[in-house]
Amino acid sequence: MTEIPHHDIIRHLGHRRTVIGEAPGRVNLIGEHTDYSGGFVLPTVIPQTTAVAVAANADGASRAWSASVPHDQQQVRFVVGEEARTSTWVDYVQGATAVLRAAGHRVGGFDAVIRSEVPLGSGLSSSASLTVAVLRALRDLFQLHIDDVVLAGLARRVETDFIGVPVGVMDPIACALGAANHALFLDTRDLSWQLVRIPSTAEFAVINSGISHSHATGSYRQRRQECDAATRALGVHEIRDLSEYGQRRIEQLPEFLRKRARHIVSENARVLAAVEALRKRDMARFGVLMDESHASLRDDYEISLPQIDRMVEIARSQRGVLGARITGGGFGGSIVVLTLAGQAVRVATAVAQAARDELGLRPQVLVPPTK
């Protein structure tokens, strides 16, 4: 749980009635870049969360303050009812009121104090954890009747409709519905989901490379467009609809579309196999699938970087490691490593040390948490 220091609340919200919304970051275990073409994903939550304290403010000028951004950007202003995109972090706050109002909910003015433990640009859903936490705080403050599934959909619209980043549906759902020690198996086509227990014989480690990415910039958007182009060229509604026979047609696509489509087909199959492995408690098999997922993201979907590939290799060379891969949108961010129970701290520390010494990176071990 992220603590917002009492003096920050008093300084920015005074002694008004305050409610707090909170949501964790997520790490995707397998099923990468499949959530915008109706595929399968398998994320879990991380211990780091975002907390948002809000208090009503009726004077028509709202303020938000965040301890988790550079000093000169900490305080921002907005007006509920006159939300307009600014391309700064206030868009995650005023985007929430914009989508709530568009969905017919009554929200008034408020001030907010934010603190996040989820590093920005780390591939661990700092933005969805913020939007879900803001929406939860506003739900309480204005007594809105919205369940967490609907709330996750609103959180996604903050990013797609208000901010204009074409993200898929995985992150807000993982942040809103995920649970510790469970993987969330989500079918992004019909949004059916199940929590599957992670056996206690294995553990995950998450190491942020410190190479920050942004999905607002070109590469993520480009992959989405390529995925759409491959779908059109194959003449299906979604790549998942390809029959086994249809999958042979992938080989006739131009090379880069062929690679993109091949990743999506193989990654969807790997998620289903990974869920089966979890249910059978076959974590060695799960690890192999993670390794294959990384190779596919590196070679076919091309969203990795040489330094991240090297971190994955270093992780795999450690004793007690069952598998490792890049996680999240890519082009930087974090790696996730599966280890035997009791080994994750040692492995994560060794990987971070090597990434510092050999690659000159400023990595950060997030899971297992150090405090």
Q: Which residues bind ligand GLA (CB under 6 A)?
A: 28, 32-33, 35-36, 167-168, 170-171, 215, 328-329
Terminal-residue alpha carbon distance, the chain: 12
Two tokens, residue 200:
């206690």
* Residue 328 or 332 having the CB closest to ligand GLA: 328
Two tokens, residue 340:
């035997």
In the complex, the smallest distance separating the C-beta of residue 40 from ligand GLA, rounded to whole angstroms, is 11
In the complex, the smallest distance separating the C-beta of residue 171 from ligand GLA, rounded to whole angstroms, is 5
CA neighbor of 255 nearest in space, from 295, 299, 305, 309: 299
* Residue 18 or 34 having the CB closest to ligand GLA: 34
Cα–Cα distances in Å, from 163 out to 41, 87, 90, 234? 24, 7, 10, 31
Set 91, 171, 241, 357: catalytic member: 171
* Residue 4 or 132 having the CB closest to ligand GLA: 132
299 belongs to the catalytic site: no
In the complex, the smallest distance separating the C-beta of residue 265 from ligand GLA, rounded to whole angstroms, is 15
In the complex, the smallest distance separating the C-beta of residue 215 from ligand GLA, rounded to whole angstroms, is 6
In the complex, the smallest distance separating the C-beta of residue 269 from ligand GLA, rounded to whole angstroms, is 16
Using CA of residue 32, residue 36, residue 39, residue 40, what is the dihedral sign? positive
Burial 222-246 (b: 16+ CB within 10 A, else e): ebbebbebbbebbebebbbebeeee
* Residue 171 or 238 having the CB closest to ligand GLA: 171
Two tokens, residue 121:
């640009």
Alpha carbons 345 and 334: distance in angstroms, whole number: 16
* Residue 35 or 203 having the CB closest to ligand GLA: 35
* Residue 169 or 351 having the CB closest to ligand GLA: 169
Q: Which residues are bridge partners to 27 per DSSP?
A: 44
In the complex, the smallest distance separating the C-beta of residue 80 from ligand GLA, rounded to whole angstroms, is 26
Alpha carbons 226 and 194: distance in angstroms, whole number: 30
Two tokens, residue 295:
């190779």
Positions of E strands within the chain: 19-30, 40-56, 62-66, 75-78, 110-116, 182-187, 193-197, 202-208, 321-327, 334-340, 364-367
Whether omega for the bond prior to residue 47 falls within 30 degrees of 0, making it cis, is: no
Instruction: State the catalytic residues.
Output: 171
